[in-house]
Chains A and B, each alone.
Chain A
Amino acid sequence: IPPPAKKPLTKIVSHLLVVEPEKIYAMPDPTMPDGDVKALTTLCDLADRELVVIIGWAKHIPGFSTLSLADQMSLLQSAWMEILVLSIVFRSLPCEDEIVYAEDYVVDEEQARISGLLDLHVAILPLARRYKKLRMEKEEFVSLKAIALANSDSMHIENIEAVQRLQDSLHEALQDFEGSQHPEDPRRAGKLLMTLPLLRQTATKAVQHFYSIKMQGKIPMHKLFLEMLEAK
């Protein structure tokens, strides 16, 4: 007997899958000597390029572009690191205790220690373990990423009702997805949403890490990355 055909995905989740950005690569500078300066320079450059992609991606989330420009900015300024961390964690799910910053930049604990990335590594691993345990799927990842943006708790939102409507539509999309794809676990949407506090904690640690690097002034940082760090 063939397994029952899965129901079609909700419109929003299918749309989020379509607008999911292409992979980008870290491309570490081969002329730089290995060490923490090279590792951090590579990560800051990668983060800057990822930010450009994230801003472009956000515009494709149904309902985001109809928010005022000021509210779009506030949501991104609050949530950008959560989006970055969630993407890194999703890429790292197939690995065991390795962090996939990019396809060409996979770091294990030993390499993290040598490269001065151990704090970041140790901060990200618990979140990766949590999503591994849940066996998070791509549809759930794209939904959760959009929810993290809409639910960023910025203190500067002008139109709270409009942001609430965005949250509601994304929340509903996740619930509909789980209702149709995981009827065996009626609490799955809730379990995913309950990971958001750890995502925020992890992102806060990552922002603090990069902010202290910025203050030390030894690593070159591009303007968009600096701008977003300063907004935190």
Chain B
Amino acid sequence: KEKHKILHQLLQNNTSPVDL
């Protein structure tokens, strides 16, 4: 999961990832 941080983050909540 650490490797796929942004996907994980986007699926888990509705906030935008910091680094896009």
Where the two chains meet, the residues of A that have a C-beta atom closer than 8 Å to any C-beta of B are: 48-49, 52, 55-56, 59, 69-70, 72-73, 76-77, 222-224, 227-228, 230-231
Contacts and interface: CB of A to CB of B under 8 A. Distances in A.
By DSSP majority rule, is chain B's interface helix, strand, loop, or mixed? helix
A220 to B, nearest CB: 13
A81 B12 CA distance: 21
B13 to A, nearest CB: 11
Contacts of A231: 4, 7
By DSSP majority rule, is chain A's interface helix, strand, loop, or mixed? helix
Interface of B: 1, 3-8, 10-12, 16-17, 19-20
Contacts of B19: 222-223
A224 B11 contact: no
Contacts of A55: 7, 10-11
Contacts of B20: 48-49, 52, 222-224
Contacts of A76: 7, 11
A231 B5 CA distance: 12
